[in-house]
Chain A
Amino acid sequence: MTKLLASIGIAALATVSLAACASDPSDTKTSGGALTVKATDSQCTVSGTKLKAGPSTFKVTNAGSKVTEFYVYADGDRIMGEVENVGPGLTRNLIVDLPKGTYEGACKPGMIGDGIRQTLTVTGEAAAPLSDSEELTAAATSYERYVKSQSDTLIVKTTEFVDAVKAGNVDEAKKLFPIARTYWERIEPVAEKFGDLDPITDGREPDAKAEGVDFTGWHRIEKQLWVENNTEGMDPYADQLLSNVKKIVALGQDAPLTALELAQGSKGLLDEVATGKITGEEDEFSHTDLWDFKANIEGSQAAISALRPVLVEQDPALVKDLDAKFAAVDTELNQYQDKTTGDWTFYDKLTDQQIKQLSDAVAALSEPISKVAAVVAQSA
């Protein structure tokens, strides 16, 4: 936790330092978070020469008649950053991350010579790590409750599935497979924290082959059920599956996700959809991908709900966008659920056009979701 917070502190600082450049004209004479560099054929004017440590943006405008370039040099003309090929009348940006020290900015009209130089002084240090906010703690606690409720049912449903497999009840096992997995898929970011348990529980056959290890877990049993239509030899796999699911649940409760992990998890679940479910690769034998798809979306939504108070405060527009995009995914997805049985359409029955539309909806949601972690990091 402490380590994580330290890096969040740096994240916050970086943002702050850019904002500071913009809001402190007496110090840096900049506007809009950037320094301007006006380059003519004979002059090079930088809008501010005293900078704060961290990334600075130089907007280099060529007001001359020759193609120019702009360099930031450290001692001994070590190049910290450069932007070339700035045509007359154009502006190109140079973003350069400068530690405390003294530098020189140089315009080179005609792209030749030592350039017209100006001294730049960079001051400041990294701020001390900030403390975690109460809201983030509350978000993590709220998600912990969700994980608890899902994992209790996961153990119940996995037990039922394993019992059916061991009883040789193929039809029942096939029915329970996607249902038990629903609880698994909703809290997958928890499982993924435990590197060695995830692959033996949810790994795919080609990966097991490549690693030279036994193919085990959910998908090993899935293959037997759908390809061989029996449960022969599955007892040890079934026992191992239940035992590993229980281990993951216990470990997850001992080490709950932090708010930041939870934000990253909400994105991770959508990445799962985009790479595994949209392609029909995850449940290649049973084609029950849409059960997993829905569960991933629900899990992602649960993570966002837990973070909601933080997000509403920090970035209400993002929350509005997320709500609209989650709703659009639901509309797209829910048309493939049988309202009576609750069953989903099998992946191999979807047309290319339908898959494209699902993919578009997930992509539309994934973009705003990818912005959540930064908001959480900022509010630490």
Chain B
Amino acid sequence: METITFLIEHANYWAAVVLLMIGLYILTTRGNLIKKVVGLNIFQSAVFLLYISMGYVDGGSAPIVKEGIEVYSNPLPHVLILTAIVVGVATSSLALALIVRIREAYGTIEEDEIIELDQP
């Protein structure tokens, strides 16, 4: 019983861990460069979730000042992660731009074919 409550109470962390692993798995096993970018996005989203759920205070309301509310959630992790999301968007767009150039130069976006084309 104790184990089950432990698992349920930390559901947000489990979600982050599972997503993090899915992202890493895609990054290491898929040869398609677009799929790698998708994997990278899942990987980063896991961290976004970790930060956002971390800011929740038990019984706290949304951090908007209102009469009659005493406990607020911590808004700082949310603000931080907004910055990290912007960084993630920039990374994805740069990665996609690179993929366009790779496709122009090699005619493929499959990693094994690219490695083969580079063999002298």
- Do A and B pair up? The answer is no
